[in-house]
């Protein structure tokens, strides 16, 4: 990956980053440090933020969920928060229809729609379903 | 908790029923009581600031500082189970 590339960040990476007990924590920290070193521009979507807050609040702690929310909502210069509009949701429905895998969520389809629309090539995610999507390079590489 | 952390031993006075509950909780999480307590303390000191009445809503300096706010949850598979937890999938 070249320096200063834009990278979309999925919910599982944020969650693994913030959960020291997570089996994926060390890998998430490693990816995060690589992105920082390469001065990557990171982006995520409101649907992803919603997933992270929900999971952390329900299974970790409300304090951790709110810390994440405060960070995301108050630091717009460090991370681009993309809100899915009607155009993105319509495109996401198309991706969902044509996606062969069964275990995908609508937020997964929205991620693909946003990445295609914004021409973001890299996705930081531990979800294997994205590895089969043409035009998307998933980090960390296997 | 860092592997290089220097540890100390302390005596904590607490009700017997609480110790029993802690042992039960540790057993359920397949952890030692020590590990459970260290996780709880770590969470309180580093991310539970509003509980202590200080630095309410203070965000880190940068998005890159997020790992500094990581806490122990006793949950090893949260990242793999986002859809299951968020949507009951």
Parallel/antiparallel/unpaired status of strands A79-82 and A6-9: unpaired
Other residues' Cβ atoms within 10 Å of the Cβ of residue A12: 25
- Can you tell me the ipTM of this complex? 0.86
Chain B contact set for A24 (CB, 8 A): 79-80
- Per-residue pLDDT for chain B (89 aa), expressed as one digit of tens each? 444 567 788 888 888 888 888 888 888 777 788 888 877 776 556 554 444 444 444 444 578 989 988 999 999 999 999 999 998 87
Tell me, what's the pLDDT at B6?
75
Tell me, what's the pLDDT at A139?
94
Tell me, what's the pLDDT at B9?
85
How many percent of chain A have pLDDT more than 70? 98
Asked if B40 has any chain A CB less than 8 Å from its own CB, the reply is no
B46 contacts: CB under 8 Å, gap ≥ 6: B68, B69, B71
Average confidence score pLDDT of chain A: 93
Asked if B49 has any chain A CB less than 8 Å from its own CB, the reply is yes
Say if residue A1's pLDDT is above 60. yes
At residue A1's C-alpha, the angle toward residues B70 and A120, to 5°, is 80
Instruction: Please give, rounded to a whole number of angstroms, the shortest distance from the CA of B64 to a CA of chain A.
Output: 7
| Residue pLDDT, tens place only, A80-137 | 999 999 999 999 999 999 998 888 999 999 999 999 999 999 999 999 999 999 999 9
Instruction: Please give, rounded to a whole number of angstroms, the shortest distance from the CA of B77 to a CA of chain A.
Output: 6
Tell me, what's the pLDDT at B45?
60
Tell me, what's the pLDDT at A42?
96
| Residue pLDDT, tens place only, A61-96 | 898 999 899 888 875 568 999 999 999 999 999 999
| Residue pLDDT, tens place only, A11-38 | 999 999 999 999 999 999 999 999 999 9
Q: Report the residue from A14, A29, A54 with minimal CB separation from B86.
A: A54
CB within 8 Å: A71 and B63:
yes
The answer to whether A43 and A106 have CB atoms below 8 angstroms apart is no
Asked if B47 has any chain A CB less than 8 Å from its own CB, the reply is yes
Asked if A129 has any chain B CB less than 8 Å from its own CB, the reply is no
Chain A contact set for B5 (CB, 8 A): none
Asked if B60 has any chain A CB less than 8 Å from its own CB, the reply is yes
CB within 8 Å: B86 and A51:
yes
Asked if B43 has any chain A CB less than 8 Å from its own CB, the reply is yes
Q: B19: closest CA among B43, B36, B4, B39?
A: B36
**How far apart are the C-alpha atoms of B51 and A81, rounded to whole Å?**
28
* Reported pTM: 0.74
Tell me, what's the pLDDT at B51?
43
Chain B contact set for A54 (CB, 8 A): 85-86
Site of tokens 């397949």:
B30
């Amino acid at each position: 990956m070249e320096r200063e590339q834009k990278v979309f960040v999925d919910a599982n990476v944020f969650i693994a980053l913030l959960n020291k007990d997570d089996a994926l924590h060390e890998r998430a920290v490693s990816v995060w440090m690589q992105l920082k070193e390469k001065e990557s521009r990171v982006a995520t979507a409101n649907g992803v933020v919603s997933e992270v807050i929900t999971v952390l609040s329900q299974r970790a702690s409300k304090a951790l969920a709110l810390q994440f929310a405060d960070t995301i909502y108050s630091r717009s210069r460090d991370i681009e928060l993309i809100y899915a509009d009607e155009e993105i949701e319509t495109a996401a429905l198309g991706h969902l229809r044509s996606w062969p895998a069964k275990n995908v969520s609508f937020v997964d389809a929205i991620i693909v729609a946003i990445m295609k629309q914004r021409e973001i090539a890299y996705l930081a995610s531990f979800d294997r379903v994205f590895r089969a999507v043409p035009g998307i390079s998933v980090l960390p590489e296997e | 908790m860092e592997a290089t952390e220097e540890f100390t031993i302390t005596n904590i006075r607490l009700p017997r029923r609480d110790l029993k509950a802690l042992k039960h909780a540790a057993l359920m999480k397949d952890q030692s009581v020590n590990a459970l307590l260290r996780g709880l303390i770590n969470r309180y000191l580093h991310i539970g600031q509003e509980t202590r009445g200080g630095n309410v809503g203070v965000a880190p300096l940068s998005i890159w500082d997020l790992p500094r706010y990581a806490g122990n949850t006793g949950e090893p598979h949260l990242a793999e189970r986002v859809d299951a937890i968020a949507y009951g999938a």
